[in-house]
Every structure is written in structure tokens, then in C-alpha cells.
Structure 1
Amino acid sequence: MEVNSDKLNAFMGKMVTEMGAAMNASLVLLGDKLGLYRTLAAKGPMSSTELASATGTAERYVREWLSSQAASGYIEYDSASRKFSMLPEQAMALADQDSPVFLGAFPNVVASTFLDEPKITDAFKSGKGVGWNRRSECLFCGTARFFRTGYMHHLVQEWLPALDGVVDKLKRGAKVADVGCGHGVSTRLMAEAFPNSRFYGFDYHEGSIEAARK
């Protein structure tokens, strides 16, 4: 089989880039979990010592995390001051969970694909499905946080008004079933926006319902 070296090099470049992104997902996950992005966005520019002190983490690990994030273009580094910071655009994506473009929760979803791999592999062999309620817990948390920002900025403002007559009916008073409500983010947003209506959230993953009730 004849191999085209240009196509091979292009494909290898694509694969290396995607492998780097996959590895970086775990670093984004811990940066979100430990509040490293949020603290850096709020208080930066900061050195690794300052960020570690502010977040109660170990400086040696924070130093490596900061360097890798700067090399990936997720944060900024100033060689003169030897401090790290975040651009407004970076902060919107990684530090502000109320931002319309927040992505900090997505690595939770990525993590679940690896944790659930044994179940998916078995399903490939058996032909049976893997129910949503059988997935790893981080999938539910990540999904709720990932979609939350879209619901906050678009559900009541744009999506519901796009449905003929729905908003008027909700204003007057209606009974609404939010099927597959997950952690109840969409259910609560609609209930707060339309107090004359009654909203019921349903999900066959019991853990999600428990989280929604809290």
C-alpha cells in the first residue's frame, strides 16, 4: 500500500493536536475544581506562590499547572514580571460559570466517557444499551453545569418565545412537564420566570432528581 507522506504528516498533526487537547481536559477539570481559574481571573496577575496561597494548594503543583496552561494558550504569562493572568475572553470561557460561553464544566463530561468505557465496551459486544441512569456521576454534574449557561441566557429570552403562543400560556398559568430535567436547571428557570404556572421535573436518574431537590 502506497502512503502519501503529506497526507500522513497532516493526519499525524491532527492526531497529536487532539491528543494534547484530551490530556489537557484533566488539567482544565482540576483548574475548575480547585478554583484556580476563578482566583486567577479575579486577582491576577499572580505568581505560582500567590495563586497557591490564595487557593490553599501546593505551589510546586500549581507552578507546573500554570506553565502548561500558559503554553496551551489558556492563560497568559508575562516574562518580565514572571506572573500569570487571564484575558477577558479566557476568563469568560474558563472562570465565569454564568458566562454565556462557559466551558469549564465540559471536562467533567469528557471524564465520564473514560470512566464509562468498560460499560460501553461491553455494550459493543452484547448489543445492549447503556442507560443514562447507569453513567458516571460526573456526567450528570458536568451536563447540568455545561447546559446551565445556555439555559440562563436563551431559554426564557429566546427559545420559549420562538414557540407560538407558549409564553402567553405560561404567563396566564399552565401545567408543564419538563421531561429529562436532569438537575432541574431548566425547570427552575422557567418556574421563576412564570410564577402563574406549575412546573414538574421528571428524570429517571434518581441522583439527578435528588440534586435538583437540593
Structure 2
Amino acid sequence: MNAPINTPIDQTKLEAFVTRAVDDLSAGYGGVMVSLGSKLGLYQAMAGAGPLSAEQLASRTGCDERYVREWLNAQAAGDYVSYHAVSDTYELSPEQALVLADEDSPLFIPHAWQVPASMWFDEERTLEAFRTGEGVAWGEHDGRLQCGVAAFYRNGYRASLVPEWLPALEGVVDRLEAGIEVADVGCGHGHSTVLMAQAFPRSRFHGIDVHAASIDASRRNAAKAGVSERASFDLAKATDYADRQYGLICFFDCLHDMGDPVAAARYAARVLAPGGTVMLVEPYAQDQVEDNLSTVSRMYYAASTTICCAHAISEGGTLVLGAQAGEARLAEVFRQAGFSHFRRAAETPFNLILEARLSE
């Protein structure tokens, strides 16, 4: 569409915006390269190896040299590896390796690219949802969504959940060490449940999710970690899981996806043991849109558009919070559910860690 007649164009602003748009387009292309590099073991083969030629990297990974060379040039152009012109070699720095090669690093990012891949794959479904106002349930998305989200969050939880987040809650670690029942609502692939079960052998952990394939993955992950005897998983909604009078109920990055978060919080109040705690982990957000205009918020709003809001609408959409709900709206949800205590216990650049109790 042409600009209206007599509308002045600021050439400097136009050029700056075009540059920004092309940068974003380039990043999208680069994400494909990151995923390929991770799945082919290219980053892992470069980690700690010093400068390597394309031929050497191809030999180490069993890949074709011509493809590897072009991939390396894309990486060098994006500053994801260093190129040494004199020796015609490429090098992955220790800092880059933490982000691209170390699958146990809390900064490891390649799996996250599976999420936008699923968003593209599901574009027709999303277009239809925009036009009709209908929802799209979590399980109706391309499978790369569930796998990408689980893998991306796993390392962040591994780095922070047991050493930082749980100790930030009043008295919770002592109760976990003594032995309580714990519900992990919306557990996904069960990484958070397994981490807690490994750390607190006297407690019993119960993962709940509405997605059958995720429950199956949770059981496999618990078995692999050797905690199946104290970590169970059930297909259930956030408003009908078994009442075990839980000492701790956790919602990890999921309450904002629910069609009726007040009902979920109200049910948690009903099945919470006296003196029990709800731990709510939500995407980091300020309370006003104008305070959420950042790179991380852009990512969260985009995912929320196609995934979070879409699932909440599929569940009836009584209150569609979205991934950038902010602390004030979340506090109001728990106030309506009967909780009198609500506070921010901790935060990261990506998450708010909130604590709720029925009474002081």
C-alpha cells in the first residue's frame, strides 16, 4: 500500500527500519542454520577444538565438505563462529559453545528454534483461528512445539529450580526435605517434576497435563532418571486432578495458557494442604504494554499470539491472560481464588517466580 499523498517520509527512519527488518529476516534464516548445526553435531565437534578447516569439520562429523563450508560461512557472517582468513579455518569460542554446543548449559538455545518452526508449520491453522476466533489446543500443534518448549525450559529449570527458586519460597525446602505431596500442574515432559524428585527423595511428586503424548514423555524421563517410584504422571485438567492435600502445587509457565486460570487457582486452593504453598512461574513481564517493549517481550508476545492465547481460547477463554500477563493480573487471579498471600519470590530475565498461600 502506498503512503497517503502529502505524508512526509523520513528517509533516515525508513532506512533504519528497513535495516531492522532485514536483520530480523537474516535471523530467521540463521535459526535454520543453528538447528541444522546442532542436529548434525557441527557445534559439538567444534567445541574446544580450536581452529578447524571445513574439510576437518566435515571429516569429524561425517558430513559433506561443500555443505559444511557454506554452513560455516553463514555462521561466520552471523558472528556465530570466527573465521581466520590466513589459515582458512573456523573457530567456536568457549562463550559460543555454552550457547550452541553444551546441551547441559542453561544458555543452550538450539532447541528453542523448534518453536518458530512449529509456528510456521501451523500457519494455516493460525490464520483460520484469527478469522474465526476459535482456539488451537496445545496438542493440535506440530510436534516440534512440545519438544522445543520442553527442551528449551529444561536447562533453565535445571539451573535455577532447586538451587534458587525453591529456597526463595518461605519454608518450602524444609517441608520438601521432610516429605510432602507435590503437584506439578501442566508438567509437559516432566523435566521440572523429575528435578524436584531427584532433589527431595522423601517427597512424592505428581505431574499433571492435558496432553497425552507429554505424559508419556514424562514417564520415560522419570524412568531414565530413576525416580519413577516417587514421580507419577496423570492425564488430567488443572481443575480435576487427584486431591492429595499437597504441600506444594507448582505451575511452571502454564497458568497463562489456561482457559480459566481463576478456576485452576481456585481448585489449587481446594486441594492444598493447610499451610501449603503455590509456586507460580510465569514469563517475565511488567504490568503495562509500554513497559514490555523489549526483545524478550517481543518473543513472548509472538508465541502468545499463536500458542498461549490460542490454547486458552480452545479451553473456553474465560480469561485469556497471554504470556505477558504481568504480576498485578496474576495476583488478581489468586485473590479471586481466595489466596490472601501473594508475593514475588524471585525473578530472572525470562521468568517471574511468585508465591501464593491461603493465609499468612
TM-score by length of 2: 0.58
Q: Counterparts of 1:203 and 1:70 in 2: how far apart (Å)? A: 42
**Structure 1 position 28, deviation (Å):** 0.5
Give SS of 1:178's match. Answer: strand
Q: Counterparts of 1:45 and 1:213 in 2: how far apart (Å)? A: 42
Q: Is the 8 A contact 2:180 2:203 kept in 1?
A: yes
Give 4+ residue runs of structure 1 displaced > 6 Å after superposition.
Answer: none
Partner of residue 240, structure 2: none
Q: Counterparts of 1:42 and 1:130 in 2: how far apart (Å)? A: 43
Partner of residue 45, structure 1: 51
Give SS of 2:110's match. Answer: coil
Q: Counterparts of 1:55 and 1:152 in 2: how far apart (Å)? A: 29
Superposed CA deviations along residues 59-117 of structure 1, whole A, max 9, x for unmatched, are 11111000110111001111122111111111111111111211121111121110111
Give SS of 2:47's match. Answer: helix
Partner of residue 110, structure 1: 116
Superposed CA deviations along residues 30-69 of structure 1, whole A, max 9, x for unmatched, are 1111111111114342111111111111111111000110
Superposed CA deviations along residues 134-193 of structure 1, whole A, max 9, x for unmatched, are 111111111111111111110001111111111111111111111111111111000000
Q: Is the 8 A contact 2:182 2:205 kept in 1?
A: yes
Q: Paired residue for 1:62, among 68, 72, 83?
A: 68
**Matched residue type, 2:47:** A
Superposition map of 1:10-49 within 5 A? 10-49=16-55
Q: Paired residue for 1:151, among 157, 162, 167?
A: 157
Q: Is the 8 A contact 1:34 1:55 kept in 2?
A: yes
Q: Counterparts of 1:184 and 1:129 in 2: how far apart (Å)? A: 25
Q: Paired residue for 1:178, among 184, 190, 205?
A: 184
Does 1:88 pair with 2:98?
no
Q: Counterparts of 2:149 and 2:64 in 1: how far apart (Å)? A: 29
- Higher relative contact order by CA 8 Å / sep ≥ 6: 1 or 2? 1
**Matched residue type, 1:41:** A
Does 1:163 pair with 2:179?
no
Partner of residue 134, structure 1: 140
**Matched residue type, 1:160:** L
Q: Paired residue for 2:79, among 73, 78, 81?
A: 73
Partner of residue 3, structure 1: 9
Q: Is the 8 A contact 2:129 2:135 kept in 1?
A: yes
Higher mean C-alpha deviation, range 58-67 or range 199-208: 199-208
When you count helix as a share of all residues, which structure comes out higher?
Answer: 1
Q: Is the 8 A contact 1:25 1:110 kept in 2?
A: no
Looking at CA atoms only, which structure, 1 or 2, has the larger radius of gyration? Answer: 2
